[in-house]
């Protein structure tokens, strides 16, 4: 196909968006090909193509909508009327994927998905892709996707879960959603979508190299290798470049075409007539076989990475011209004219009418209100309905299930003698899986082995492998699975084997799970309770991978709830509240389990049994932010702490009382995010002296937040000391105790307060 451009369009000084726009107009005006008899609806648009005339017309309209939204954004961004210019130009062929899938197939989309979205909007009558997109570009409060919080492709009714500028981080949860679709049947869970749905996930060729993408591809193949269904359609939109870094020619095909258990298909996304059947084969294969499918969609990128990318500064004019000649809209224009479906005037009329429609929508969107208060911005971030959460946490209407799970009235855990932390966590998990039939517990070694510390022992036997199961050794994928199960209405309880292992997969919580409610304006949620064996003081085992006291990475995540019990009864009650927070408010929660306290039975002396407690009845729960106070009336010294620090502080308190004559109050925070500032200030108000015991590191630890709450509460002038871990990694063996606070450090700090 020849491209009859004028030389002026190639001029180095031209705005490339203007060039691309003018190219389309000139191509149509100068087109001189043979015109066929126009096909009727139901007839193919061109001989040899499986795409019918109606389908082509609608796909062309979707492509034009996508293109003119991009052109509109480039013009109005400089007028401060829109706030996003990463466009879809060159990727408009992804509209074929939208047409050939259902609006109930969950979609996790690349940011160049304007064509896909415009086409999917057709699936539900009355929806307007132009206005909805314009509202998003304008960051309007009326934006139905995010409420003005980000320019995202998303729609609740169209099952497009909002993504921000994702670089492969959405692939694990897309696969997790595909696995969840099939898992629902095995546990008898009713899906919110048809049982034969597939998950769609699009990304660029550059992103396909990312470690997170490789995690998802590997896990998909691992699943398929075991003959387990995983109906995910990975759509790699290959435009040959990532910002300014070119993908080696043929790399995507060479890398993915022959991967075992990842079924490869190629489609020409630049040519609707040619690519339609190719896309159709991939979609049908994924839906019928329920296997992970890799669709390699050929695209191009015109107009640069974004509006700020002046490609002429780093690409030759000849290279730019060649790229612009591959514009898929030129091929679509050629099909439109050759097929006889459009005359030149009709096609240009449609082109200009679409431009007018997009600009009009943008001007309308600019007149709408935007977010103007902090309360509006944060409203969907961390929903909390205390009364409903309390009612759910204390709901105990599953007595018959409990009897079956525990083996009779006499074996109910509340009828048994006091037990230590590990046992009571296990009992609480049995309780919760009985209470919530949609709950799943999974991770590394959690099934038959019962976890490294046998905390989950017996769960697999009681609830079977469909609800309690081992995963591959990949924390990123464990949390991706959790998000997928949550998307399908289940309550996941993923286990991260050690806190140090979480850091490898942190973005699955920070960038994905915890942000979904915020960026979807509360329309989507990722309820989960992530269990993490945590903190230091583990004897005879270790180094920093197994004694990680870095809680900062969790506390810094907006909206995340972080709880850390120090004793078994608190653990059971906290777990009930965390599950209620997930169930009722869709919250993402982290439950930090102090490894060194798992088996601790004694407090002061060997054999005293004073760190074992009665199991709380299932109607007992703990309010979010509620601390536990030991020696409530004591006020000579108040120690704020959590986790391992609680029994440490209680032991030190005995020595301090004997040596200094002080009565010591110990305050167990229990909840580390959000910190209960009012509770902390209230406890500080009656203290003569304050000591903050934080087993984490000195920098950016929980203790800094506690001291801030004390100071901002007006009690910063009181004598105050902090006992914390050192800013270092934890070494092996006994050297570990040199970097972590101990009983003697607490006593020494009290002496300093007495001397000061």
- C-alpha 552/C-alpha 168 separation (Å) is 24
The whole-number pLDDT of residue 165 equals 62
Q: Dihedral through CA 176, CA 179, CA 185, CA 191, nearest 10?
A: 40
pLDDT digits (tens, 9 = 90+) for 190-229: 999 999 999 999 999 999 999 999 999 999 999 999 999 9
Count Cα neighbours of 325 within 13 Å in the Cβ-side half-sphere.
Answer: 13
- C-alpha 213/C-alpha 300 separation (Å) is 21
658 burial level (CB within 10 Å; 0-12, 13-18, 19+): exposed
The parts of the chain modelled with pLDDT lower than 50 are: 1-10
- C-alpha 545/C-alpha 158 separation (Å) is 43
Q: What's the token pair of residue 390?
A: 């309390």
pLDDT digits (tens, 9 = 90+) for 376-416: 999 999 999 999 999 999 999 999 999 999 999 999 999 99
**Cβ neighbours of residue 327 under 8 Å, at least 6 residues apart?**
20, 23, 24, 89, 90, 300, 302
CATH of 379-597, one of 1.10.150.20, 3.40.50.300, 3.40.50.970, 3.90.1150.10: 3.40.50.970
Quickly count: other Cβ atoms within 10 Å of residue 285's Cβ: 17
Q: Fold identical between 379-597 and 628-755?
A: yes
Superfamily of domain 16-368, CATH level 4 = Thiamin diphosphate (ThDP)-binding fold, Pyr/PP domains (3.40.50.970)
Helices (H) and strands (E) in the chain, counts: 28, 19
- C-alpha 132/C-alpha 140 separation (Å) is 10
| End-to-end Cα spacing for the chain | 87
Handedness of CA 455, 458, 460, 463 (dihedral sign): negative
- C-alpha 483/C-alpha 489 separation (Å) is 10
CATH architecture of 628-755: 3-Layer(aba) Sandwich (3.40)
Smallest Cα–Cα separation from 568: which of 603, 529, 599?
Answer: 599
> What residues does each domain of the chain span?
16-368, 379-597, 628-755
Q: Which residue has the tokens 């910190």?
A: 675
- C-alpha 448/C-alpha 311 separation (Å) is 56
The whole-number pLDDT of residue 9 equals 47
Distances (CA, A) of 614 to 2, 150, 439: 82, 49, 25
CA angle 751, 754, 756 (to 5 degrees): 110
pTM: 0.95
């Amino acid at each position: 196909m020849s491209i009859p451009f004028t030389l002026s369009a190639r001029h180095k000084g031209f705005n490339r968006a203007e060039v691309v726009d003018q190219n389309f107009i000139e191509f149509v005006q100068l087109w001189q090909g043979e015109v066929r008899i126009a096909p009727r609806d139901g007839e193919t648009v061109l001989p040899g193509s499986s795409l019918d005339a109606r389908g082509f017309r609608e796909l062309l309209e979707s492509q034009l909508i996508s293109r003119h939204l991009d052109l509109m954004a480039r013009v109005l961004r400089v007028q401060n009327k829109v706030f996003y210019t990463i466009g879809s130009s060159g990727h408009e062929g992804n509209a074929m994927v939208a047409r050939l899938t259902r609006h109930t197939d969950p979609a996790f989309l690349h940011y160049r998905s304007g064509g896909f979205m415009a086409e999917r909007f057709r699936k539900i009558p009355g929806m307007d892709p132009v206005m909805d997109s314009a509202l998003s570009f304008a960051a309007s409060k009326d934006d139905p996707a995010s409420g003005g919080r980000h320019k995202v492709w998303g729609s609740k009714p169209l099952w497009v879960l909002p993504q921000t500028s994702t670089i492969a981080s959405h692939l694990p949860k897309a696969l997790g959603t595909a696995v969840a679709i099939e898992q629902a049947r095995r546990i008898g869970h009713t899906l919110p979508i048809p049982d034969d749905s597939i998950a769609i996930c699009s990304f660029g060729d550059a992103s396909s190299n990312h470690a997170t993408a490789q995690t998802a591809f590997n896990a998909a193949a691992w699943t398929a290798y075991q003959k387990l269904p995983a109906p995910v359609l990975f759509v790699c939109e290959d435009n040959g470049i990532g910002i300014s870094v070119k993908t080696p020619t043929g790399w995507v095909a060479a890398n993915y075409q022959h991967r075992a258990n990842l079924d490869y298909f190629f489609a020409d996304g630049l040519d609707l007539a040619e690519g339609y059947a190719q896309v159709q084969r991939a979609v049908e294969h994924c839906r019928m076989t329920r296997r992970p499918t890799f669709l390699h969609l050929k695209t191009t990128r015109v107009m640069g990475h974004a509006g700020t990318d002046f490609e002429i500064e780093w690409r030759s004019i000849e290279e730019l011209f060649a790229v612009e000649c591959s514009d898929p809209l030129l091929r679509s224009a050629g099909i439109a004219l050759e097929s006889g479906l459009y005359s030149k005037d009709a096609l240009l009329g449609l082109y200009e009418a679409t431009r007018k429609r997009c600009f009009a929508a943008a001007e309308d969107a600019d007149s709408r209100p935007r977010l103007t208060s902090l309360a509006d911005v944060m409203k969907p971030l961390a929903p909390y309905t205390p009364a409903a959460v309390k009612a759910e946490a204390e709901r105990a209407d599953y007595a018959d299930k409990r009897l079956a799970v525990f083996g009779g009235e006499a074996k109910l855990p509340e009828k048994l003698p006091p037990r230590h932390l590990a046992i009571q966590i296990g009992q609480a998990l049995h309780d919760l899986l009985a209470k919530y039939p949609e709950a799943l517990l999974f991770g590394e070694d959690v099934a038959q082995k019962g976890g490294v510390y046998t905390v989950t022992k017996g769960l697999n036997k009681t609830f079977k492998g469909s609800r309690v199961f081992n995963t591959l050794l990949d924390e990123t994928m464990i949390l991706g699975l959790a998000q997928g199960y949550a998307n399908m209405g289940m309550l996941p309880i993923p286990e991260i084997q050690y806190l140090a292992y979480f850091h490898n997969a942190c973005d699955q919580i920070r960038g994905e799970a915890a942000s979904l409610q915020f960026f979807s304006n509360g329309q989507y949620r990722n309820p989960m309770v992530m269990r993490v064996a945590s903190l230091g003081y583990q004897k005879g085992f270790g180094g920093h991978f197994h004694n990680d006291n870095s809680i900062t990475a969790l506390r810094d995540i907006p909206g995340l709830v972080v709880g850390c019990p120090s004793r078994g009864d608190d653990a059971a009650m906290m777990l009930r509240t965390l599950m209620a927070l997930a169930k009722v408010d869709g919250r993402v929660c982290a439950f930090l389990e102090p490894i060194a306290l798992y088996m601790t039975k004694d407090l002061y002396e060997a054999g005293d049994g004073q760190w074992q407690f009665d199991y709380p009845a299932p109607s007992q729960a703990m309010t979010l932010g509620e601390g536990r106070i030991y020696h409530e009336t004591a006020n000579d010294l108040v120690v704020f702490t959590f986790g391992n620090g609680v029994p440490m502080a209680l032991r030190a308190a005995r020595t301090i009382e004997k040596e200094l004559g002080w009565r010591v109050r110990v305050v167990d925070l229990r909840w580390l995010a959000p910190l209960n500032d009012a509770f902390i200030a209230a406890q500080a108000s009656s203290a003569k002296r304050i000591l903050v015991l934080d087993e984490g590191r000195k920098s950016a630890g929980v203790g800094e937040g506690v001291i801030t709450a004390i100071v901002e509460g007006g009690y910063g002038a009181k004598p105050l000391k902090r006992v914390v871990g050192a800013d270092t990694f934890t070494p092996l063996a006994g050297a570990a105790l040199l970097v972590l606070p101990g009983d003697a450090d607490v006593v020494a700090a009290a002496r300093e307060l007495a001397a000061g």
